[in-house]
Structure formats: structure tokens, C-alpha cells
Structure 1
């Protein structure tokens, strides 16, 4: 038996003693192993938990946990997802990190959630190769309004809730901006050589303008110097913590990397960042969260106010002129069908399959999440079990109960 296998066997034995001890002390609720072994639709998940017991050895460190247990049907979908190769090859690092992302810190039943209000809950996933968020990567949990029934399977260390798709941990900034078609913002980060720094930063909040916002400025932004453009980009980044939509209260002021403040304003059901409307919120990143806004923010006009009576807010840059071409995208490294110069002949040939250089903070496994919410991108998959209205996004980790 190799050292790795010996360690796993020892961990499994220790876990068995741990469960028996807890069960003897409480004598009220069953232990997790007994609970899972009795659920016929969780046999694959239970088998993985037995195979990788080091995950569960973390549980006594937390005051209860909520386990989002994928049912057997969820694992049958793996051949159609980005996790297929990892599971085919028994990639222990990937599998254990994905499973850790299904374990929420704290025992939380569906009844404790307020309908319609998102709750951002940290998980056991804290591996720096996968996440750069203090306290563990988050999932977004939203309880639907109405008579929705969710079954909580309680055990002596918390609660199990059954889901029918695997959650894929949030991806890095470059994958996310590509998925959500925020390529002008991504290209501007490359053009100013900020991409690696922003991708590697811990606990970050980004307000990323949609592509049309850059087109509406035209030369007002494309003709900026690198220093000027850097200042504008820094004005869209909050480096002092992860600010989810639940933190964006009316009148809230957030200090940006540029040094100035941005202000959150509410009008009816709309939310604005300075005068830019918040279009899509809470897109989870491997190192924080990204929100999509309708306009580019101007650090020289921090007092810009929206006009809630009109649908689209005007640009806040002087001499803004709309253009058809999308600025800055040429700065993004080629990823497919990239021209390669043949040194011997001096001619260029195209090759496919080239990949973008890995940015700091990217997952090393090569597993990338799809988008959790849609902005002309992949939609979250609506699923369900029994009478429960449970939606799990395959990637981005939004769970709606």
C-alpha cells in the first residue's frame, strides 16, 4: 500500500471512529454515513465520500454543515460537462475540491431562508489553486416564493439537501468575461497590463461595463493614454472586500482602487452605480464577485446622477462618440485558430487549440465553470426534484430553492 493510499485508509478509519463517537454522544440523529447509505438515489455520492474521506474529516471544525448532495442522475450528466475528464481519470485533486464546494459552512434548512433574498454562503472549498476568497468560496442560495417544498435530511452534524446537478466552482476573471461577453473590459485590462494583478487579487469586487458602453464612448476612451485608461479601470474595482448585491444598499459608498468613491443609488426596482445602471449582479469569480453595469464610470465625475425616467443613461465622458468597432479586444491573446509564423519559410499558418496564458489565480485543473447567470451567455439550468423548485447552475454556483 502506497503512502497516499495508507493515509486515506487511516483517514477512513479515523472518520469511522469519529462518527461512532458523535453518534454515541448525541443518540438522537443518525450519523452521516448511515443517512447516506440509506438513500438509494445518493449511492454515487456516498461512494465518493467513502473513497475520499479526508473531506469529511474537516466537518468537526465547523458548527454544523449543509451538504448539497448530487443525486445519481447528477453524476450521469458528467459526460456532458467539463468535469468528464477529471472523473474519467480519477483526478483526486479536482474531485475532492468539487465535493468540498458542495459542503456549506453552517447547518441551514430551507425554512431559514427569506424568499427572494439571496444568501451567499461560504463552502469548505479553500484550496488556493481554486479560490482566492477569504473563508471559503461562496455559493448563492435563493429561496423561491410560493409553496415550495424542500426536504432537509438531518443528521447529527447538520443537514443534507439533494440536488440533481453538480456545482462547478466559479472560474477566473478571463473565463468569466469571455462567457458574459465583457471582452472590451477584458481587453482594456490586457492593454494596461492589469489582467494578472486583478485576477490574482484576493476578495475583489468588479463593476464591469457591458461592451456597448465602451462602443458608446468611442475615441473618448480609445484615445486615452495607458495611465488614463488605468485610472478608469481602477475606478471599477473594489479591492477592500467582496460586495454582493445584498451589500449594495442605497447610499452606500465604496472606495475604489483608483482612490475615489463610487455611490450606490436605488430608484424603484433599479440600482445604479453612480449613474450606470446595474444590469446583472453577483457573478461569482474564483477571487470575488463581478457585477455588470450599463456605462463606463468616470473617476473625474464621481457625482454623476442617473435619470431614472429614461431607459438608457448617457455616457459621462466629454466628446463621447459611438463607434461600431469594439475597442481593446485586439489586446486579448489569441485562443483558437491563431496564426503561427513559420520561421523557416517566413509564412504564417493557422493552428487551432492554442490556449490563453494562464493568469494568476486561475484553477490549475483546467476545469472551467460556465456562467451562473446569463447576459447573452449560457443560462443557468433549471432543474428540480420531487415538488421542490430547486435550480442549480452548472457553474457559477447559484442554487435556488
Structure 2
């Protein structure tokens, strides 16, 4: 009888240990941030995480239409100011549908790369008045006001950062509530 109890105990302990090794690495080794109902894993790249966010389906579709998937899967590091679906919804009716057409790829690419800065900038790096040169080539300006961090585009419009420091294997994402527009 004691052999039977020992065997059952060993099996139970083994199952428990296996469960711990399957579950523990994600929670113990990776500090995730929830975005759009999905955990964003620091071990995954920008695209691998973004495709899981229900709040960024428009951005993901635009990145695919612009042919930027491979770039944002690259080594980086990149800082991405990622507009939500609601941010794209603020644009005039039909804007997104027009931008994702193949003939508008250069304009779409320009707008999307205006949301990307080379290097990894955490929220603590986004100091008031800091000028950020985008991959597109124009500037963004950081503004601190009312306890929030704002990104000011070339036209003077602002986007509030709603979620900061979503770390990726190739950079960091800051979720914003408005689409940024370059001057030209």
C-alpha cells in the first residue's frame, strides 16, 4: 500500500511541477502590459504583440498595407507611438479606407513612419519640450501638462499617451489616442 501512495504522490507532485514550469516562466520572467485585452510580452517583437491587441486592428492593417511589417519585426530598437482604433476613428470619414489603397501607399507609409522614432525611449525619456526626430524625417515634440504626456505633431495637434512603456524585444510602444500627422 505504501508503494501505491508513494507512486500517486510522485505523479501528483510531477504534475504540479510540470504545471509550474509551464505557467511560471511567463509570469516570473516577463512583466507584461495589457493592451487591447491582450498581454504584450517583452520577448516578442512589435508586430508579434500588436496583432493581438483588439484596440490596434486598424494600425496593424495599415502597417500591412504600407509594407512595414518586416521593418517593425526587425532588430530596431524602435519607439512606436501606436494610435488606437478610436484614434483612427477621429479622422474624417473614409480617410483610412482611402489611405490603405495601393495607390496611396507612399502617403500611408509617410504617416505611419511619422509615428516611429529610432531608439528605445521609455516614458522617463519623454521630458517636456523634448524634440523627437521620426523615421519619416520630421519632428514630434513632447509636452507635459495636467499630469499627462502629450505628443505634438508638426501641425500642432496633440495625442495623449494613454499607456506607456509597453516593452518589446525590439523597442517600446506608447499607446496614443490620436493619429499624428506630418507637416507635408
Contact 2:47 2:72 in 1 (8 A): no
- Seen in structure 2, the aligned counterparts of structure 1 residues 78 and 255 have a Cα distance that, compared at 3 Å, is same
Count, aligned residues: 147
1:220 match: 95
Residues 270-300 of structure 1, C-alpha deviation per residue, up to 9 Å, x if partnerless? 1111100000010011101011000000002
Secondary structure in structure 2 of the residue aligned to 1:257: coil
Query: Where does structure 1 differ by over 4 angstroms across 4 or more consecutive aligned residues?
Result: 73-76
More helix by share: 2
Q: Give the corresponding residue for 2:122.
A: 244
Indicate which of 68, 77, 94 corresponds to 2:20. 77
Measured at CA, do residues 175 and 300 of structure 1 come closer, stay the same or move farther in structure 2, by a change above 3 Å?
A: same
State which of 256, 264, 272 in structure 1 corresponds to 2:142: 264
Quickly say closer, same or farther: Cα 1:166–1:220, change in 2 above 3 A. Answer: same
Q: Distance in 1 between matches of 2:88 and 2:151?
A: 16
Matches within 5 A, 1:39-58: none
Partner of 1:104: none
- Contact 2:46 2:171 (C-alpha < 8 Å) held by counterparts: no
Q: Which protein has the larger Cα radius of gyration, Structure 1 or Structure 2? A: 1
1:211 paired residue number: 85
Deviation at 1:76, TM superposition (A): 4.9
- Would you say 1:286 and 2:169 are equivalent positions? yes
The runs of 5 or more residues in structure 1 that have no matched partner are 1-72, 84-97, 99-164, 302-401
Q: Contact 1:205–1:290 at 8 Å: present in 2 too?
A: yes
- Name the counterpart of 1:179: 52
Question: Normalised by the size of structure 1, how large is the TM-score?
Answer: 0.34
* 1:235 correspondence with 2:108: no
**Corresponding residue for 1:202?**
76
Instruction: Give me the TM-score of the superposition, normalised by structure 2.
Output: 0.72
| Counterparts of 2:86 and 2:126, CA distance in 1 | 24
- Paired with 2:179 and 2:70, the residues of 1 have a C-alpha distance of 21
Counterpart of 2:28 in 1: which secondary structure?
coil
SS at match of 2:60: helix
Counterparts of 2:144 and 2:17, CA distance in 1: 39
Distance 2:28 2:178 in 1: 35
Higher strand share: 2
1:194-225 deviation line (CA, Å, top 9, x unaligned): 11012204211100001111122232233131
The 5-angstrom pairing of residues 129-144 of structure 1 reads none
On the 8 A contact 2:159/2:177 being kept in 1, the answer is yes
SS at 2:183's partner residue?
coil
Alignment of 1:217-366 (within 5 A): 217=91, 218-224=93-99, 225-239=104-118, 241-274=119-152, 275-300=158-183
C-alpha distance in structure 2 between counterparts of 1:74 and 1:258, whole Å: 50
